[in-house]
């Protein structure tokens, strides 16, 4: 349960950072993303112009397709998205222990997402960890690789920045402050 609360808090932080930095940061241009890649409109792969109207299910499919194609399998012990946020957030955790080269699989996953219409933005690297921001339409994805050393964790957390989702994230953060 503690992990689920952390996930909701992390999503809120990702969302708030996205809201604060998307107009002036180096990750501008999410809504002007073009589509491409192998996903088709029928697969929910985000063929909408610029990713507008992209659903959580389509985002999950894109992440899963890119990650599994790069050699990852999903970690079955990863926490689900907190109740009530399923349409606004996607969390996909890779089992980095099972990947032959987690760093390469991470890089290949980010590359595949780029071919599927996700625009790369800010990149943060420190101490062997990397967090890459990607955007498509109203969605922002934080791809994080912490596979150096003993801890091997690779996560993809996407949040939708629509006003409806903003309200849901704020309500969830407030609820968790009280618990």
Cα gap 143→53, rounded to integer Å = 21
Cα gap 71→63, rounded to integer Å = 12
Counting the structural domains of the chain, the total is 1
Domain that holds residue 13: 2-178
pLDDT per residue as tens digits for the range 121-170: 999 999 889 999 999 999 999 999 998 877 789 999 999 999 999 999 99
Residue 30 in contact with residue 119, Cβ under 8 Å? yes
Closest C-alpha to 25, from 162, 125, 133: 133
Q: Which residues contact 163 (CB under 8 A, 6 or more apart)?
A: none
Residue 128 in contact with residue 55, Cβ under 8 Å? no
Query: Other CB atoms closer than 10 Å to residue 68's CB: what's the count?
Result: 16
pLDDT per residue as tens digits for the range 21-51: 333 333 333 333 333 333 333 333 433 334 5
């Amino acid at each position: 349960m503690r992990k689920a609360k952390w996930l909701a808090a992390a999503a809120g932080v990702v969302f708030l950072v996205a809201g604060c930095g998307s107009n002036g940061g180096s990750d501008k241009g999410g809504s002007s993303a073009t589509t491409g890649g192998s996903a088709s409109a029928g697969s929910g792969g985000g063929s909408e112009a610029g990713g507008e109207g992209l659903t959580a299910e389509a985002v999950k499919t894109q992440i899963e397709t890119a990650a599994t194609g790069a050699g990852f399998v999903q970690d079955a012990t990863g926490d689900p998205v907190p109740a009530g946020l399923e349409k606004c957030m996607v969390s996909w955790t890779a089992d980095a222990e099972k990947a032959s080269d987690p760093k390469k699989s991470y890089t290949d996953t980010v590359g595949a997402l780029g071919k599927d219409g996700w625009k790369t933005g800010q990149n943060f690297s420190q101490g062997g960890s990397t967090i890459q921001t990607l955007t498509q339409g109203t969605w922002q994805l934080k791809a994080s690789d912490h596979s150096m050393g003993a801890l091997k964790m690779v996560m993809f957390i996407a949040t939708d920045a629509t006003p409806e989702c903003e309200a849901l994230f704020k309500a969830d953060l407030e609820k968790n402050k009280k618990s």
